Structure 1
Amino acid sequence: MNSLHRRDFLTRLTLATAALATPRYGFSNVSRADEFVEVSTTHGRLKGARSEGVTTFKGIPYAGRISGDRRFRRPALLEPWTGVRDALQFGAPAIQPPRRNEPAPAEDCLFLNVWTPASDNRKRPVMFYSHGGGFVGGSGASGGQDGSNLARNFDVVVVETNHRLGLFGFLYLDDIAGPDFAGSGNMGMLDIAAGLKWVHDNIAQFGGDPNNVMIWGESGGGAKTSCLYAMPEAAPYFNKASIESGPGVRMTPKEVAAETTAMLLKELNIAPKDWRKLLDVPAADLLAMQNKLPFVPPFQEKNRNQGMMRRNYGGFGPVVDGVVLPHHPFDPTAPAISQNKPLLVGWNEDEYTFFAWERKDTEFAKLDFESLPKKLEAQYGADAGRIVDTYRKANPNASAPDIFIAVSSITMMGLGSVDIAEKKVKQGGAPVYLYNFGYKSEKKIPGTDYPMGTPHAMDISFKFNNELPPRDGSAPKESFFGGNRPERFVASRHFAELWTTFARMGKPAAKDVPAWPAYNLNTRPTMRIDATCEVIDNRFSQELALWRSLGKL
């Protein structure tokens, strides 16, 4: 990961996320409807589309205008409407490069989507998902995260938001712009909190229980979930959480955010006292400037007295401003505000193969045990040899590329996940459950004979139960990452049932899956999710001992 420039990483991650959003699951912008369904909300009536046992409402506005003089501020009040508003097409995603099969990005992007089995006043669990794409890309309309199958097969209500991203959502102006712009460095997170409040006020009309809401998200969505878990403004509106392949242990200190703001103003030739000129810069120009600014490195290492600094998704992301985000989400401890809220946290076993795929990196597959230490030296220096020795001892049948993938994957997403689990246990409150997703795709990384395994983002279609045989009985199509093997359907069922049961009860469970013990610091149980699931105690014990000794955990 050290050789990957951060700007290139984020651009490619956004493009790869868009690729995953292609309509492989029959996800289109205009619904095919067996019938239309109307519901009342706090601001007016909505018309959604019902098809195959699920009603979908798309493009629901949950807050008001954020363009013009509302840029970098709290949204304007949402204006009520008269009559019935169509909720049949997705709303605009946040400012970013254009997204396939979605409306053009726009500043005014505060829309959400709802999938429900029925608007019948039943109190179903609500699964409120935050999309990935770091803090700079993605939307609540990405195809792999279509909520239809979760709603249909597990009787839950799924909600996904669009919210501000990049500098539109995370430009820190608090030091120079006055009280109207308080919290500016966290507007993207405050948008999500506003979406949660909308759910609290309205979801009963959609068949959901406002008092049983689970927040969850993958990659950047996992980091967003980490922040929500620590935010006073979000706290009243959710009851449990899941952080998936995106452990947000630490976020941007306000001093660093202020430096980024100063850099932006300098690049735009705007004096700090004239910061209001930012309100008149066209959105496209700000996006172009965002892409020119240097990014925070993928990993900011800790010193031993400071605590782990985990992944920071680019130069713009949530800011530890002492108010909206009072402290780092999981440093030095798990947030007291969510002490009594159960938590799931974990990662995919082969996270790094995603990044090899999107970078067209084939060189790692040619590594041998002579070249592997040299490959790791750029990031780990003199410790590279010790790392290789430890991993070879713990995994005697692993090849050199296997070890490179294992090292890269656990340092990207694993160490932060374990850190979060350990801190949650030490808090002595609600339980935390640690997992690894391990279903192996046989698809090869192009240009190599190396299989994808369990790459970053492959879990999305599995946990949304979008790995299913066709409903019409036709032959299954190849999954984007998941490959062709029919076992993927079983793994998807397990993943989705574990998560929906957790949403319902606060404890994950599924048919044909062993009982999943809460994490503890003695046996350290980890659920490995696959077509056959298993609980593994003290998993990666040798590897984690190594990373602790190196001050990485």
Structure 2
Amino acid sequence: MTLSTRRLSPPRGTPPRHDVEVTGGIVRGVLRRGLRMWRGIPYAAPPVGERRFRAPAPVEPWHDVRDASEFGAIPIQSRNGAFVGAARDAAMSEDCLTVNVIRPDSDETGLPVMVFIHGGAYMVGSSAEHRRNGEALVAEGGVVYVSFNYRLGALGYLDLTRYSTPERPIESNLGLRDQVVALEWVRDNIRAFGGDPARVTLFGESAGGNAVTTLMAVPAAHGLFARAIAQSSPANAIYPPEVTAVWAQEFVAILSDLVGDREVEATSDDEGGAVLTAASAEQLAEATVTLTLRTPDAHPGTIALSPVIDGELLPERPLDAFKEGRAAPVPLIIGTMDREGALFTGRLDILATTPSRIRAIFANTKKKARKAIKAEYPGLPARRPAADFGGDYAFWFPSVKVAERHSQFQPTYFYRFDLAPRLVRWMGFDATHGLDLFAVFDRIDRPFGRLMTALGGRRAFHATSRRMRSRWLAFAHGELFDESDWPRYEMEARRTLIIDEEDRIEADPRATRRHAWRLFVPHV
């Protein structure tokens, strides 16, 4: 399994080549920190004007050599929303559909490709949020790293098709469509960067993890990646159109107040569509935040910004595709954090973690199932057990179901990330949502990572991070793990890699909790 660290350099006498021809024209990259980088390359036409709320269109060509030394504008999002991201200082635009590439400074070709989809609840974030993401993977593993932007919020992840008209068409799953087109761009262009389009590993975390498990159920994405890694995927946050249409109506009512049309709540769908067209990008972002924060209480256990089962791009619930063997036939790594829900407090709290939300979910279950779940979370709905309940409901149990179903058809590996620095544990977060990104992207020596390890634990985190990256890189290079190191997940033994200061294998960890959830939400 272990992949040796290697830093590649060009053969003597071979000058670095940074001009690359891609769909649309020629882009000029830069050499930074011993790696070749290209940033802000358009992979689709700007989704602006009449293209707002439309599927991505082919990229518009350019004639001169295009500078690709800096990231493109980030997707439209609130600068003062529920989450703190890169939005406060970054240039922002609806014209955001760009891709970034990092490769070793060598002329080697046929390299494995790792395509990362960022998270952020489909509301915030961008491929530029952590500017050095991917550099450690490229330097240590000799891969080509790709990241990209996709539309967020109402522009990408609200199903507004009820407001579509022949004169003003609106299409579904826009952010998901962006992701498919980005993967098609990789297929068509990655050879120019030394990558092998037949060796693409798709990976993502949180909403990006949901994107991975969802794309595995999108027929149009099949064949665009050969392997997949889903980190902390809320894999069941996918809804039918009758549910998403309600959120669309609620969103337009919120938006109408912002644009000054307070009668829209009682108007036709056609007039609601006019409000969507007239609204500014900033108003769309503000209304998105309001809807996102209202939804957990108005519709407990759901997340409004999500893909919709539209019968076209996404024909069925991904969990059903996994169950029937219709998901992409590729090897999969999937897993979660030890305590996913601990992060979601205060303005971040969009999970089923409050007494009223938990009561609403319990109301739809049988007494025996409620009793079994309460035994797994003593003290519920107190803060700590409520956080664990909400995190397991959104992330852990759906990921378990993906693993057990996909393992019937393809090699599948399940993990749980348990390592947390002392200060993070002292603050009550433990190994919570997003901490694994500090390992995968080698962030522990950056300012926030140093703060987290101020009371110790940096050396242990470094060691665990190297092991985790080595496994991710070995997987991207085409390896299937040795049974003694990381056995495949199978329904009989359910052997799971526990990533900690000392990694270990456990058979069916938290088995009684899994049985309780199986009774509690049998439809998952």
Identify whether the pair has TM-score above 0.5, normalized to the shorter chain: yes
1:37 Cα deviation after fit:
2.2
Q: Deviations over 1:181-228 (max 9, x none)?
A: 777220111111111111111111112111111111111111111111
Provide the alpha-carbon RMSD of the alignment. 3.4
For 1:160 and 1:273, the matched residues in 2 are separated by 37
Secondary structure in structure 2 of the residue aligned to 1:127: strand
Partner of 1:458: 435
Secondary structure in structure 1 of the residue aligned to 2:120: coil
> 1:424 is aligned with what amino acid?
H
Residues 490 and 385 of structure 1: is their aligned pair in 2 closer, same or farther, counting only changes over 3 Å?
same
Residues 204 and 102 of structure 1: is their aligned pair in 2 closer, same or farther, counting only changes over 3 Å?
farther
1:35 Cα deviation after fit:
7.8
**Aligned mate of 1:37, from 3, 18, 35:** 18
> 1:166 is aligned with what amino acid?
G
1:178 Cα deviation after fit:
4.8
For 2:324 and 2:121, the matched residues in 1 are separated by 22
Total equivalences in the alignment: 480
For 1:430 and 1:296, the matched residues in 2 are separated by 36
1:72 Cα deviation after fit:
0.5
> 1:124 is aligned with what amino acid?
L
Secondary structure in structure 1 of the residue aligned to 2:313: coil
For 2:167 and 2:335, the matched residues in 1 are separated by 38
Partner of 1:317: 306
For 2:169 and 2:223, the matched residues in 1 are separated by 21
1:540 equivalenced with 2:513 (yes/no) = no
Does the aligned pair in 1 maintain the 2:121–2:305 contact within 8 Å?
Answer: no
> 1:75 is aligned with what amino acid?
P
- TM-score normalised according to structure 2 size: 0.82
- TM-score normalised according to structure 1 size: 0.78
1:435 equivalenced with 2:408 (yes/no) = no
For 1:339 and 1:495, the matched residues in 2 are separated by 24
Partner of 1:367: none
1:285 equivalenced with 2:261 (yes/no) = no
Residues 385 and 336 of structure 1: is their aligned pair in 2 closer, same or farther, counting only changes over 3 Å?
closer
Residues 380 and 238 of structure 1: is their aligned pair in 2 closer, same or farther, counting only changes over 3 Å?
same
Q: How do 1:237-252 and structure 2 match up within 5 A?
A: 237-252=224-239
**Aligned mate of 1:348, from 337, 343, 365:** 337
Secondary structure in structure 2 of the residue aligned to 1:344: strand
Partner of 1:70: 51
User: Which stretch of the first structure deviates more once superposed, 379-388 or 93-102?
Assistant: 379-388
User: Which stretch of the first structure deviates more once superposed, 116-125 or 536-545?
Assistant: 116-125
Q: How do 1:371-390 and structure 2 match up within 5 A?
A: 380=362, 387=373, 389-390=375-376
Does the aligned pair in 2 maintain the 1:91–1:109 contact within 8 Å?
Answer: yes
Residues 170 and 350 of structure 1: is their aligned pair in 2 closer, same or farther, counting only changes over 3 Å?
closer
Q: Deviations over 1:237-270 (max 9, x none)?
A: 1111111112322412111222233334445226
Q: Deviations over 1:475-529 (max 9, x none)?
A: x9853545542111011011111111111115257xxx95211111111100011
For 1:356 and 1:280, the matched residues in 2 are separated by 35
Does the aligned pair in 2 maintain the 1:250–1:329 contact within 8 Å?
Answer: no
Residues 505 and 179 of structure 1: is their aligned pair in 2 closer, same or farther, counting only changes over 3 Å?
farther
For 2:146 and 2:108, the matched residues in 1 are separated by 16
Secondary structure in structure 1 of the residue aligned to 2:18: strand
1:82 equivalenced with 2:69 (yes/no) = no
Residues 416 and 480 of structure 1: is their aligned pair in 2 closer, same or farther, counting only changes over 3 Å?
farther
Does the aligned pair in 1 maintain the 2:187–2:197 contact within 8 Å?
Answer: yes
Residues 212 and 289 of structure 1: is their aligned pair in 2 closer, same or farther, counting only changes over 3 Å?
same
> 2:419 is aligned with what amino acid?
Y
Does the aligned pair in 2 maintain the 1:117–1:151 contact within 8 Å?
Answer: yes
Does the aligned pair in 2 maintain the 1:342–1:506 contact within 8 Å?
Answer: no
Secondary structure in structure 2 of the residue aligned to 1:297: helix
For 2:227 and 2:93, the matched residues in 1 are separated by 31
Q: How do 1:328-367 and structure 2 match up within 5 A?
A: 328-331=317-320, 333-334=322-323, 336-356=325-345
Secondary structure in structure 2 of the residue aligned to 1:243: strand
Does the aligned pair in 1 maintain the 2:252–2:275 contact within 8 Å?
Answer: no
Does the aligned pair in 2 maintain the 1:53–1:117 contact within 8 Å?
Answer: yes
Question: Structure 2: which 5+ residue stretches go unaligned?
Answer: 1-14, 80-85, 257-263
For 1:296 and 1:74, the matched residues in 2 are separated by 26
Q: How do 1:134-153 and structure 2 match up within 5 A?
A: 134-143=121-130, 146-153=133-140
User: Which stretch of the first structure deviates more once superposed, 247-256 or 61-70?
Assistant: 247-256
For 2:58 and 2:151, the matched residues in 1 are separated by 16
Q: How do 1:125-164 and structure 2 match up within 5 A?
A: 125-143=112-130, 146-164=133-151
Secondary structure in structure 2 of the residue aligned to 1:330: helix
Identity of aligned residues (%): 30
1:423 equivalenced with 2:423 (yes/no) = no
Does the aligned pair in 2 maintain the 1:171–1:184 contact within 8 Å?
Answer: no
**Aligned mate of 1:520, from 483, 490, 495:** 490
Does the aligned pair in 1 maintain the 2:236–2:394 contact within 8 Å?
Answer: no
**Aligned mate of 1:489, from 453, 462, 474:** 462
For 1:120 and 1:442, the matched residues in 2 are separated by 43
Secondary structure in structure 2 of the residue aligned to 1:423: helix
Secondary structure in structure 1 of the residue aligned to 2:469: helix
For 1:52 and 1:185, the matched residues in 2 are separated by 41
Does the aligned pair in 1 maintain the 2:28–2:67 contact within 8 Å?
Answer: yes
